[in-house]
Amino acid sequence: MLKRINIKSLLQAKDSLQEEGFKGFLNHYGIDIKGAEIEDLRSLAKALGDIGCSIGAFDRFYVGYKIPQISKEFDLLRFGRKCIVNIELKSNCSEEKIRKQLIRNKYYLSFIGRKVYAFTFVSELQELYFLRDDEQLEKTKVDHLAELLTTQEIDDTEAPDALFNPSDYLVSPFNSTGKFLAGEYFLTNQQEDVKNQIIDSLNPPKAAKFISIIGSAGTGKTLLTYDIARHFILIGGERKPLIIHCGQLNGGHIELIKNGWAITAIKNYGNHDLANYDLVIFDEAQRIYPKQLDTIIEKVRLAKCCCIFSHDKLQTLANWEEKSDVSGKIGSINPITPYKLSEKIRTNKEIAAFIKMLFNSKKSLPISTNGNIEINYFNTSEDAKSYIDALDESKWEILRFTPSQYKKEHHEKYSEESNRTSHQVIGQEFDGVAVTIDKFFSYADNGDLIYTGSAYYDPPKMLFQNITRSRKKLNVIIIGNEELLNRCIAILQ
């Protein structure tokens, strides 16, 4: 765990300790710093020391702080009651790169709700840059920084990890469409890296190219995929990319279409001649029918266009989807370039651990219970429905199972038709999600969550789809099922 440190203490430890002793010192503080970075830091400390900065101005810094669940890192951070000071260290760097980095840093830190002072110190030139409120870069004197550090009030009880909510940084093209269209978001390092590799690989000559983006719930594959499409729309080529959503279009899709995007549902993809597009994206591609996939591959080869499949084999809703293993078939297209997103961004860690243990009774994981999960129990469907109907819809997105078109199913007794179904929320996310678990859920001998009732779509899969839409809060409503109630309580104790 990263601890605060006095910069002078760090530099003197480097100068006086043996190599092993210094490694142990860094490990104690949770600091990972390269030799060249220490020299840049030494140069900054000297510049501050030369103008008479007191020892207190060097105190209580986080070196190499990373926002939880996001690979966003800061060289030096100091958290104050009213403001945050960020200093980046460079041996040499262009002004444009400095400005871009500080704008990004300020974006991430601004969610805390305090004034952010962002600086870059360039050691070779002995120059200090400051990002102004209008996002322009200016050279400033070390005295400016020294005064801030000397007057900054620090709260010694504050834990910075608690100040950040990782889900703030995952803008959804569907649920935050305005922000997405305005470009008010940043990709993580991993997303940025995958994006750059894909864009580089899509350069001419015109030829059939297949790319696979795999990522589980919360890794940001939807944002990445739509950001790639946005990149090609903004550079303004002759042909816009075509997005084919393998499910029902949602409100965010409609908003994007109004803004000139070419998006269609998979059921209508045959109406589009792929030869009219340089890039075709299949979102939630794990839900394509196997025969459709064969036709799509053939059409892409004939059209000589680029095709991106974005998919997660765990996000299927019917047994046939799992058995057909379209994700596996996509992976075996020859040739295909695969990319895998591994960093969980959206999922609250408490909710992520809860989901894993809920879906298998034999799993045991550490879980920090921070009050993000509510458990409510009712003995009858009528009482559960009354409770669900009374929930504050501004706080909770109440998600129901997709019903059969052919016959009434048990879950319809406590579901409200106006609430969205598992199929309607594919790829979306909400701050608070309410889900139901009725009497037909139980555990198999191997610990897996199963459903013993009758339903057209697979209820455990639909529950997984619904529950993984949550960014911050989860309300689990259990109806007449003591086994699942006991399991949920045991997980949260």
**Which pLDDT score, from 0 to 100, does residue 156 have?**
85
For residue 403, the domain's CATH number is 3.40.50
Q: Each residue of 298-332: pLDDT tens digit?
A: 999 999 999 999 998 877 777 777 788 899 999 99
Last-in-domain residue among 105, 131, 163? 163
pTM exceeds 0.85, yes or no: no
Residues 366 and 295 in one domain: no
Q: 271 and 413 share a domain?
A: no
Average pLDDT, the chain: 91
379 located within any domain: yes
Q: At what angle do helices 349-358 and 482-492 cross, to 10 degrees?
A: 140
- Same domain for 336 and 409, yes or no, is no
* Tokens describing residue 338: 């695969």
- The answer to whether residue 120 scores a pLDDT higher than 90 is yes
Does residue 335 have a cis peptide bond before it, meaning omega lies within 30 degrees of 0?
Answer: yes
Q: Do 129 and 242 share a structural domain?
A: no
Average of pLDDT values for 443-469? Answer: 94
What is the predicted pLDDT for the residue at 124?
96
- Share of residues in the chain with pLDDT > 70 (%): 98
Between vectors from CA 99 to CA 98 and to CA 103, what angle results, nearest 5°? Answer: 120
Residues 136 and 31 in one domain: yes
Domain with 98 in it: 7-163
Same domain (yes/no): 156, 185: no
Say yes or no: 57 and 149 in one domain. Answer: yes
Q: Which two tokens stand for residue 455?
A: 């339903």
Q: Could you tell me if residue 1 is inside a domain?
A: no
Is residue 329 domain-shared with residue 207, that is, in the same domain?
yes
Of the candidates 475, 477, 489, 460, which has an alpha carbon nearest to the alpha carbon of residue 360? 460
Q: Kindly provide the residue ranges of all beta strands, DSSP E only, lying in 123-202, ordered along the sequence.
A: 127-131, 137-140
pLDDT at 257: 96
- Chosen domain end from 129, 163, 197: 163
Using the predicted structure, report yes or no on whether residue 4 has a pLDDT greater than 70: yes
User: Under DSSP, is residue 381 helix (H, G, I), strand (E, B) or coil?
Assistant: helix
Q: Within this chain, do residues 138 and 14 fall inside the same structural domain, yes or no?
A: yes
Q: 390 lies in a domain?
A: yes
Do 184 and 249 have their domain in common?
yes
Over residues 180-186, the mean pLDDT reads: 89
Residues in the chain: 493
Question: Per the domain annotation, does 170 fall within a domain?
Answer: no
Q: Measure the CA–CA gap between 383 and 389, rounded to whole angstroms.
A: 10
Q: What is the pLDDT of residues 227-263, one digit of tens each?
A: 999 999 998 777 789 999 998 899 999 999 999 999 9
Q: Assess if residue 172 is contained within a domain.
A: no
Q: Does the structure show a pLDDT above 80 at 173?
A: yes
Q: What is the C-alpha separation between 109 and 442, in angstroms, rounded?
A: 44
**Percent of the chain's residues with pLDDT above 90:** 71
pLDDT for 345 equals: 65
- Say if 83 falls within a structural domain: yes
- In this structure, the answer to whether residues 478 and 360 fall within a common structural domain is yes
Residues 469 and 336 occupy one common structural domain: no
Average pLDDT over residues 442-460: 94
Residue 218 lies in a domain: yes
Contact 283, 225 (CB under 8 A): yes
- The answer, yes or no, to whether residue 346 has pLDDT greater than 60, is no
CATH number for the domain including 50?
A: 3.40.1350
Q: How confident is the model at residue 347 (pLDDT cuts 50, 70, 90)?
A: low
Domain count, the chain: 3
- Asked whether residue 169 is domain-assigned, the answer is no
- Residue ending a domain, among 163, 194, 229, is 163
More confident residue, 344 or 165: 165
HSE-CB of 40 using CA atoms within 13 angstroms: 23
